[in-house]
Amino acid sequence: MFLLSSTRVAVVDCGTNTIRLLVADVTAEGVVTDVIPRRATIVRLGQGIDETGEFAPEALERTFAATREYAATIAEVGGVERVRFIATSASRDAGNRDEFFSGIASILGVVPEVISGTREAALAFRGAVSEVRSAWPGPYCVVDLGGGSTELVVGTDTPVASFSMNVGSVRLTERCITGDPPSEEERRAVEDAVRTALDEAAATVPLGTVKTIVGLAGTITTLTGYSLGLHTYDREKVNGASFDVEQVEADALAMFSMSRQERLDLGFMQPGRADVIGAGAIVWREVVARVASEVTRAGGGAPVVVTSEHDILDGLAAALGEVGRL
């Protein structure tokens, strides 16, 4: 028996709005090194699922098409020893998820795993905190803001508590927003939904202990590009960017108030995100405000808000590399 210096893995994370690929080499110490630039494709798998309870045929086809591209990329890179495909919020809700499972399995050769919100939060925490702990103090509140759900997980070295809120950018857009730009009444509807979810979360997660809020996923990284004044998206500048609570709240509200075209005119905005980022921005604003309020109530200083480009993909890769090692 001997330990390999590294294991090459490929992980796919399929959420309500976006499907993403990471091909990485993972060392015996769990250090994740990207082999190629990470891929992200907006497929809107969760289109209409909140209303119908099933994946729409066109949403499935968009997701299968992206998965075919990812399968070709994995084959082209070569040397991949293990592949894992996880599905999160939308797949937990879909009545026709077997059609989704069989389609992915036929393309990629692995059956999708639908992970719980708790497991999703733990993997996101592992990926994010591995990168921020050297620069920012814990306890951390890692916020993984997706299309269908938002995971909150608090801890320092490992999670001590987590909660999966059934609110996200796609879900709340479909429930609450029809205007372009959205109205104040629509904003209040989103806020009410998020605040109700946060009331439940606060009963489980010790938000008042937090010193650093770490934001993950496309809504937050895109808002970070706006806060930084970027003209084109720059992953290196976004990763590790830090802000005070007031700037995050102000910029999120500004993004919500824009029309879809105004958002598209921002050089870093993905077209498939422009129509749902308003609701996502309010989710982020409310989470940051609630954490800051809980910290103040507990007698602590204002938390810093940090964006991480390292997330559930990194946590998955590290875990898969460990499983795959001799």
Q: Residue 121 in contact with residue 155, Cβ under 8 Å?
A: no
**∠ CA 287-281-69, rounded to 5°:** 110
pLDDT at 326: 36
- Tell me which residue has tokens 């692995």: 110
DSSP string, 165-219: ES--HHHHHHHH---SSPPHHHHHHHHHHHHHHHHHHHTTS-GGG-SEEEEESHH
DSSP string, 54-117: S--HHHHHHHHHHHHHHHHHHHHH----EEEEEE-HHHHH-TTHHHHHHHHHHHHSS--EE--H
Q: Residue 23 in contact with residue 74, Cβ under 8 Å?
A: yes
Structural element, H or E, at residue 220:
helix 218-227
| pLDDT more than 70, % of the chain | 95
How far is residue 52's CA from residue 12's CA, in Å, rounded to a whole number? 26
- What domains are defined for the chain? 6-117+312-324 (3.30.420.40), 128-307 (3.30.420.150)
Residues near 31 by beta carbon (within 8 Å), at least 6 away in sequence: none
Mean pLDDT (10-residue bins), the chain, 326 residues? 70 89 86 87 85 90 96 95 84 81 95 82 86 91 91 93 92 94 96 97 96 95 96 93 96 97 92 92 98 96 94 86 55
Q: Residue 49, Cβ neighbours under 10 Å: how many?
A: 26
DSSP, res 240: T
pTM reported for the whole predicted model? 0.85
Count Cα atoms within 13 angstroms, Cβ side, for 271.
1
pLDDT at 34: 86
pLDDT at 87: 87
324: left (phi over 0), alpha (psi -120 to 50) or beta: alpha
How far is residue 132's CA from residue 73's CA, in Å, rounded to a whole number? 29
pLDDT tens per residue, range 197-216: 999 999 999 999 999 999 99
pLDDT at 3: 44
Q: Which of 111, 99, 101, 94 is nearest to 53 (CA)?
A: 94
Joined together, the tokens standing for residue 181 give 């730009």
Amino acid identity, position 307: T
pLDDT at 130: 81
Start-to-end CA span in the chain (Å): 7
